[in-house]
Chains A and B, each alone.
Chain A
Amino acid sequence: MFFLPHLYRHPGFLEGMRDVSPQSPGIAAWGLMTGVAMVKSGMSVFEAVAMTLTVFAGSSQLAAIPLIVAGAPAWVILATGFCVNLRFVVFSLHLRPYLMHLPLWQRLGHGYLTADISYVLFTRKYHQPGHTAAEKREQEAYLAGNDFLNWLSWIVASLVGIGLANMIPTSWGLGFAGILCLLGIQCSLASSRMRILSSAVAGVAAVVAYALPLKLNIVFAIAVAVILCLTVERLRPAPAGGHA
């Protein structure tokens, strides 16, 4: 967490910032686009700013926007956000041994601020959790610096995007950039045949069940896709080249 003096005064903090700096323009562009998409999809400026400052998770924000605009029930929106964020649950399992020596509120703070890129950079640099207190402190400072520049790039660009959005007519359809962004993330997750199956099933199910009230087609589609994939796994226990 960048606001703690013992972290931002540590040399590891600057190193963390330096390592994330090549990624900073890309993060900023994505934030800018998310800011524009929020307002252009029908959220108020106040709502968009509140979302930027508190939610701090691009893909779940973008997935929630069409559902909020359509008036889906809160639990459907939160469940969708949770599913889109499930990758972070996996990250937290990986990061656990690096952070468990800290008090709970600091663990939650680091968790909240550590998004995709910081997770990737941190675990690429530190293959093992620190053994001594000094090593642990250095890793924590590095993570905090990395998180800080990532957070700053994202927040500032999102706010600029929210400001710009008011100058661009809605009829241009710039909100579609948010869908393209989700599509890109979706493609990045398509790393195995089973995941492609999950994606295809969920897409078809969401369209077929579109008439369900309350945007329940989203939850229905996720459930159908996951259950089907788990069933296929069970029927065919060695998938993707594993000819046992």
Chain B
Amino acid sequence: MNGTDLWTLAVIAGLAAVTVLTRSFFFMSSKPWHLPGWAQRGLQYAPIAALSAVVVPEIVMSQGQLISTVLDARLFAAAAGAITYFRSKNVLLTIVLGMAVYLPLHLGLGW
């Protein structure tokens, strides 16, 4: 059983505030206003960068080190997932087929 702590609950409350802040960002002020140009262009690139920064280390690192073998279930599952996405444009199918590659390699072969 995992423990609950106040710090995590505070972070969760903060993330809820981030949801309201981002989804309602331009609803807050009734005055017409504009983002500076650099920020507007930066909006194009930040979301994919944030996802990549979270996802890539979760696939290619283990215990804080770059993995030294290609025999890792995560690499194959991620490749299968990416190929699935670009063929089907379906996130759900990406998860399903990625896990269909991951589980046998991870549980069966111990990769």
A78 and B18 contacting across the interface, CB-CB below 8 Å: yes
When chains A and B are docked, how far (Å) is the Cα of A110 from the Cα of B89?
A: 28
When chains A and B are docked, how far (Å) is the Cα of A189 from the Cα of B14?
A: 25
A44 surroundings in chain B (CB, below 8 A): 1-4, 8
Interface residues of B, dominant DSSP: helix
Chain B residue with the shortest CB-CB distance to A233? B41
* Stretch of A2-10, A122-130, A170-178 at the chain-chain interface: A170-178
What is the total number of residues of chain B having a CB less than 8 Å from a CB of chain A? 70
| A-B contacts at CB below 8 angstroms, number | 285
Q: CB within 8 Å of B: which of A183-209?
A: 183-190, 192, 194-195, 198-207
A108 within 8 A of B: yes
A92 and B51 contacting across the interface, CB-CB below 8 Å: no
User: Looking at the complex, which one of B2, B9, B46, B91 makes contact with A42 (CB distance below 8 Å)?
Assistant: B2
A202 and B99 contacting across the interface, CB-CB below 8 Å: no
B8 and A68 contacting across the interface, CB-CB below 8 Å: yes
The 6 closest A-B pairs by CB, nearest first: A111-B24, A203-B56, A83-B50, A184-B91, A184-B94, A202-B49
A residues contacting B by CB (< 8 A) are: 26, 29-30, 33, 39, 42-47, 50-51, 54-57, 59-61, 63-64, 66-68, 74, 77-78, 80-93, 95-96, 99-100, 104, 107-108, 110-112, 114-115, 172-174, 176-177, 179-190, 192, 194-195, 198-207, 210-211, 217-218, 221-222, 225-226, 229-230, 233
